[in-house]
Structure 1
Amino acid sequence: MTSWTSGYVAELEYSQGVYREMAPALLRLNLLLKQADASALTGQPPSTPLRYAELGCGHGLTATMIAASHPGAEVHATDFNPAHVAGARKLAAQANLKNIQFYEHSFAEFLSADLPMFDVVALHGVYSWISEENRALIRDFLYARLKPGGVCYISYNVLPGWAPAMPMRKLMIELGEGNKAQPMATRIDDALDFIGQMQKTNAGYFKANPLAATRLEGMAKHSRNYLAHEYMNRDWNIFYHSDVARELSQAKLTFAASAHTGDHVDIVNLTVDQQQLLATLTDPAVRETVRDFCVNQQFRRDIFAKGLLRLSSQEQGVALSATRFALTVPRSSLALKAAFPVGEVNLQAEVYEPVADALAEKPKSIAEMLAVEPLKAMGYQKLLQALVILTSSGQAAPALEDKAAREAKPHCDRLNAALIERARTAADIAYLVSPVIGSGVQVDRFSQLMLLGRKQGQKDLAGFVWSVLSAQNQRILKDGKTLETPEENLAELKTREADFTAKTLPLLAYLGIA
C-alpha cells in the first residue's frame, strides 16, 4: 500500500489558524466590491441552508467557527490527517455543534462521498502543496459539487513574489532528505542553521537576492509546524494567477474578485502609472497577473464563481449600503497608519475617527452611517473606501444582521466555553468566535484565562491566571526574557488585567463574545 500522506508532511500537525477571508460575510463584501452577485452566500433559494465545504481543513478551526456563527448552515470539511480530524470532531462535540461534519478523506474519497451540492467550496493554501493528480481531483469536485452560482475561495503561493525564495526552499528539502533519521522539527532547524551559515560566507545567491536574507530571518521566527507544511512537502507548486485561472476554468469557474479586501483600493496598491498600464489590458487573467508583478505578490486569496453574474451599479449600491460593519479593535486603539504595497499609508484622522466613532456603540450599515453628520457630508464613496481600508487592516469587519447574530450567540457561546477551558492547559488556539461578524477574533491565552476566571466568579483575575500557570510550572516571557519570580509574573499579569478590563473585555462584549 502506498503512503497515505502522498508526500504531504504529516509528522507535524498544521498550526491552528482562522482564515477570516473564508467567512461568508467577508466573501460577500469582496464580491460586492467587484459588482459580482453574492447571493450564494445566503443559500439559494433563501429557504435552503447555506451549504459550505472546506477541502484540506487542517484542524478545522475556521470551519468550526463558521458552523457555530451560522447555525442554519451545513458545513462539511475534510482532511486526510486523522489527528486533525479527531481533534476537530472532539472540539465540535464539546461545543455540541450539530451542523458540521468532518471527514478523514482524501480528495478522491471526498469526491465519491454522499454529499450535497455546495454554495461555497473553500481551500486555503492547499492548491500549492499537492500533486497535479490531486489538483485535478479538486477541479473534478468543483465541477461536480459546486452549484451554478456558487463560489470557490482559493488561496495559493504565487509568482513573482516567491521567486527569490524558491531556491532556498529547494535547498531545505535536499538538506532534509539527507537527514531523514531526525524528527521533522530537527531537520528544519538543521536546514535553517546550515543556510544561515551559508549566508555568512557571503554566498552569491544572497548577494543577488537580498530579500532572501529577510525571508530567512522571518522563517527562523515561525513555528516549525508552519514551516514543515509550507516548505517541506514533496509537492510544492508556485503559480501565476493566469495558471490557476486556466486550470479552474476546466471546472467552469471564472475569477470574480480578490478575497483580500485591501486589493479593491487601487490608490494604496498601485502607482498612477501602474493603474494606467493595467487599464490597457482587457483579459482579466492577464491583468491580475500583471498586477501581481506590480505589487510583487507572493500569496493570493481569490474568489472564483461558477456562473459569474454581474450586478448593475444600482444593485451594487443597494447591497453595499445595507452591509453592516463592526469594529474589531477597541475604539481607543484605532491605528491611523497601515501597510500597503505602495508603502505605509497615513489614514486621515478627519475621515477615520468619525467612522470609528459611528461604529463604537454598535455595528451599523453604510446607510445608517450616512443618515447622520459628519458622515452624511463625507458621502458614500469616501465612507465606503474608509470601511474597506479598515477591514483590510483588521480594524473592522462586515457584520451579520442583528437577528442572525442573536441566533448564533448560544452556539458561539458553547464553542467559546470549550476554547477558554482548553486554555487552561494549551496555548495553541488564540481565537474565539464572534456571532456579530461570523468569524474568529484573535484572543490570546491570557485573555481567555481571564474570561474563564470571570465565568467562575473570580475577583482577582491576575491571581487566577497565575494559579493556572504556576501549577504547570509555566512562566511569562516578556521582551524575550522569562520572568522567573512569582512577584514578577504577578506584576505583569496585573498590568495585563488592567488592559483586559479597560480595552479587551468591552471589545469582546461588543462582538458578542463576553
Structure 2
Amino acid sequence: MTSWSRGYVADAPYTVSYHPTQVPSHMALAAAINGVDWQPRERMTVADIGCGRGYVIAALAASNPGWNCIGLDYNPGQIAEAMDFAEEAGLDNLGFVEADLAAMSDSDMDSLPMLDVAMLHGVWTWVADPVRAGIVRLLSRRLKPGGVVYISYNSLPGFGQDAALQRLLRLGASLAPRGDSVERVLHALPLVKELQATNPKMLANTYMLKRLVQEGPPPNPPYLAHEFMTEHWRPVFQADLAEALAPARLDYIGSSTLVENIPDMFLEPAQRAIWDRMPEGSPQELVKDLCIERPFRRDIYMRGMRKIDRRAALDKIIVALATHETEKLPGLPTSRGMANLAPEVANDVLAALRQGPQRIGDLRRLTPGRSTTPEELLVMLNGAGTVEPIWRTRVDANAVARARRFNERAAAHYAGQGTSEGQYGLASPFMGAALPVTSLELYLATRPELQGVTDPTEAEARLRPLLPPEADEKAIATAMKTLTDRLPVWQRFGVV
C-alpha cells in the first residue's frame, strides 16, 4: 500500500475489464424498461470516474466520434498508460485526468466540462469516506440536469457474507514477508484453503470462497488484490447509497441488470405480494435484495427524472443477433429458474433476427395473438446474450476505420495472443459501445491474416502460426471453432 493511496491498492495495476452494463447504450435499455425518458445523443460528454487503465472509456470514445470522453483516476501509473494508449489509438476525443477526488477543490472540479453521463464501476465500496464525499461533490457540480449516473457496488446483504473472508485474506496478506498487493493476496490463499478445510462455522461458504479454494490457479489475482486488500472495503445497502447521493439531487431509475427490473422474474408470488405493498424506491429494493442471492448491484440514477410510456419506448429499441447460435434461443437463468420464450415465438424471433437488426416492437408482433411484452422479450434476449442494442443503423467509413484501429491496438496491448485474463470489447460504431469478447476473440478478430478467409482448411493453416508455440491440438480446435462461430457476429456489428 502506498502512502498517497488513501488506503486503496496502488502498487499493482487493476485488471482490464469491459462491462457492457455500464455503457450509455445499455443504460438506455434500463431507463426504457423503467419508463424513464433518456437515451444517448450524438453529442455528449461522458466521464468514467475511477477509470482504472481506461479501457471502457476508450472503447466508448472509439465507438462515438462525436462524444467528449473523460477518464478520471487517482493512480498516475494507470492514467499514464491510458493516455499513451489513447494517443496510439488516435482517440482525439478522449482525455484523462489524474484526480484525487478527496482533495479536488471546487475550482478544480469546475474546470471539467458539464457531464451528460457519469460511470462509476465498483468504486464506491472500495474507497474512504473523503473520496465518497468527493464523488458526490463532483456529481453535484458537474452533472447536467437530465444527466444519468451508473454506479455499481458491493451490496448488502449479499456481499456482507464475505466480510469474514475479506478479513481473513487481509490477515494472510499481512503475514507475507514482502511483495506488492497481488503477491500478498496470493500468499494469503493457502491460509484460506487450510482453514476452509476444517469447516469453520462462521466462514460462510460463499461463491467467492468456493472459487478461491477450487483446484487450479486462483481467479484473476489483480482483481482479488483490488477487491480485498483495500482498507475501506465496505458493502452498502441501496438505501444508504441513495441517501449519500441525495445532495447531488439524483433519482433512482432502476437496475442496469435488466432482469432485476421485472419482479415476476426474481420474486416468488408471496414475495411479490410483499414487494407490491412497499413504496417505490428503497423499500422495494430492500425486499429485492433480501430475496435475490447476489452480492453486486448495478444502479442507474438521473438528475431530473422524466416518465414516459414504457412500452412505446421499448418497442423502438433496435437489437441485432450477437450469437451464431442458430438452432434455438437460449433461456435466461433467473432466481426462479430458467425463463424461456414459447417455442413458436422463439422460432419466429430468431428467424427475423437472422435477417438483420430488428425493433423490439416488430419482434413481439410477428404473429398476432402471440404477443410478448416488450420488457420480457428484451430482458430474455439481452440477458441471455442473444442480442445487443444497435444505436446506429448507418455509419460512415471513417467511423468504422476509427473503431477498428482501436480494436487492433487493444489486441496488441492486452490480448496476449488470446491467452490474457480479463473482459474485453470490440468497439462498434453501430452499437455506440463495444461488443463483449474474450481475449482470444479480441486477438482473432483483429488479425489481418484471417480477414476474408472462408475456406476452413486455409483458415486453419493461417491460424496455426498466430497461436503460442505451446498451443496443442485442443487449443487450435478451440481457436478454429471460435473463429468459425464468431466471425458472422463480428461482421454483423462492423468490427471486421
Choose which of 222, 227, 236 in structure 1 pairs with 2:224: 227
SS of 1:119 mapped into structure 2: strand
Whole-angstrom CA distance in 2 between matches of 1:343 and 1:221: 29
Tell whether the 8 Å contact from 2:352 to 2:363 is kept in structure 1 after alignment. yes
Which residue pairs with 2:28 in the alignment? 28
Length, aligned pairs only: 484
Which residue pairs with 2:376 in the alignment? 385
Alignment of 1:87-486 (within 5 A): 87-107=81-101, 108-109=103-104, 112-113=108-109, 114-179=111-176, 181-206=178-203, 209=205, 213-214=209-210, 216-217=212-213, 221-311=218-308, 313=309, 316-332=310-326, 335-369=329-363, 373-374=366-367, 376-379=368-371, 381-403=372-394, 408-422=399-413, 423=415, 427-428=419-420, 430-451=424-445, 452-454=447-449, 460-470=458-468, 474-476=469-471, 483=472
Which residue pairs with 1:3 in the alignment? 3
Tell whether the 8 Å contact from 2:331 to 2:384 is kept in structure 1 after alignment. no
> What is the CA distance between 1:51 and its match in structure 2?
1.0
Q: Deviations 1:436-459 (Å, cap 9, x if unpaired)?
A: 222222334444444414367888
**Distance 1:355-1:384 versus aligned 2 partners, 3 A rule:** farther
Whole-angstrom CA distance in 1 between matches of 2:119 and 2:397: 26
Tell whether the 8 Å contact from 2:35 to 2:313 is kept in structure 1 after alignment. no
Q: Deviations 1:16-35 (Å, cap 9, x if unpaired)?
A: 11111122111111011111
SS of 2:394 mapped into structure 1: helix
Tell whether the 8 Å contact from 1:334 to 1:395 is kept in structure 2 after alignment. no
- What is the one-letter code of the residue matched to 1:378? R
Which residue pairs with 2:41 in the alignment? 42
**Distance 1:275-1:388 versus aligned 2 partners, 3 A rule:** same
Whole-angstrom CA distance in 2 between matches of 1:62 and 1:69: 11
Whole-angstrom CA distance in 1 between matches of 2:29 and 2:486: 26
Whole-angstrom CA distance in 2 between matches of 1:399 and 1:382: 20
**Distance 1:243-1:383 versus aligned 2 partners, 3 A rule:** closer
SS of 1:65 mapped into structure 2: helix
SS of 1:411 mapped into structure 2: helix
- What is the one-letter code of the residue matched to 2:470? R
Q: Unaligned regions of 5+ residues in structure 1, if any?
A: 44-48, 477-482
Whole-angstrom CA distance in 1 between matches of 2:244 and 2:222: 29
TM-score, normalising length from structure 1?
0.87
> What is the CA distance between 1:377 and its match in structure 2?
4.1
Range with greater deviation from structure 2 (339-348 or 112-121): 339-348
Tell whether the 8 Å contact from 1:355 to 1:383 is kept in structure 2 after alignment. no
**Distance 1:395-1:180 versus aligned 2 partners, 3 A rule:** farther
- What is the one-letter code of the residue matched to 1:393? A
Whole-angstrom CA distance in 2 between matches of 1:356 and 1:163: 41
Which residue pairs with 1:479 in the alignment? none
**Distance 1:125-1:427 versus aligned 2 partners, 3 A rule:** same
Q: Deviations 1:182-204 (Å, cap 9, x if unpaired)?
A: 33333212211111111222322
Whole-angstrom CA distance in 2 between matches of 1:448 and 1:157: 29
**Distance 1:436-1:332 versus aligned 2 partners, 3 A rule:** same
The structure with the greater share of residues assigned to helix is 1
* Structure 1 ranges of 4+ moved more than 6 A: 456-459
> What is the CA distance between 1:73 and its match in structure 2?
0.9
**Distance 1:344-1:265 versus aligned 2 partners, 3 A rule:** same
**Distance 1:250-1:229 versus aligned 2 partners, 3 A rule:** same
SS of 1:172 mapped into structure 2: helix
Whole-angstrom CA distance in 1 between matches of 2:58 and 2:434: 10
Whole-angstrom CA distance in 1 between matches of 2:397 and 2:388: 17
Whole-angstrom CA distance in 1 between matches of 2:316 and 2:280: 32
> What is the CA distance between 1:407 and its match in structure 2?
6.6
SS of 2:134 mapped into structure 1: helix
Whole-angstrom CA distance in 1 between matches of 2:236 and 2:397: 42
Whole-angstrom CA distance in 2 between matches of 1:405 and 1:391: 26
- What is the one-letter code of the residue matched to 2:402? H
> What is the CA distance between 1:85 and its match in structure 2?
1.6
Q: CA RMSD in A?
A: 2.6
SS of 2:333 mapped into structure 1: strand
Q: Unaligned regions of 5+ residues in structure 2, if any?
A: none
> What is the CA distance between 1:60 and its match in structure 2?
1.1
TM-score, normalising length from structure 2?
0.90
Percent identity of equivalent pairs = 28
**Distance 1:64-1:268 versus aligned 2 partners, 3 A rule:** same
Whole-angstrom CA distance in 2 between matches of 1:405 and 1:172: 51
